[in-house]
């Protein structure tokens, strides 16, 4: 399902080439990040180390409020 959405996003971006708005691109990237975080939180086999690595890959700084909130969500979900 996520692959279809990504393909649709890419096709939309290509169709609007030259007219693309930066805000829309940021929004699409943000949606993808949120979707990935939700998948990792739902996966009981995902280790916290992996989860934290993915958070860092998305450029979220370790001492930011967002990083701490994601860690709290992990702890609440996985104990």
Q: Say what the pTM is.
A: 0.62
Express each pLDDT in 30-76 by its tens digit: 888 888 999 999 999 999 999 999 999 988 999 999 999 999 999 99
* Domain that includes residue 9, residue range: 2-78
Contact status, residue 70 vs residue 55, Cβ threshold 8 Å: yes
Residue 16, pLDDT score:
64
List of residues 6+ apart from 51 with CB closer than 8 A = 40, 41, 70, 74
Number of domains in the chain: 1
């Amino acid at each position: 399902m996520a692959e279809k959405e990504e393909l649709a996003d890419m096709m939309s971006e290509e169709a609007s080439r030259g007219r693309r708005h930066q805000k829309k691109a940021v929004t699409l990237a943000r949606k993808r990040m949120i979707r990935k975080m939700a998948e990792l939180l739902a996966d009981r086999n995902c280790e916290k180390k992996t989860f934290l690595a993915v958070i860092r890959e998305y450029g979220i700084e370790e001492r930011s409020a967002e990083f701490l909130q994601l860690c709290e969500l992990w702890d609440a979900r996985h104990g």
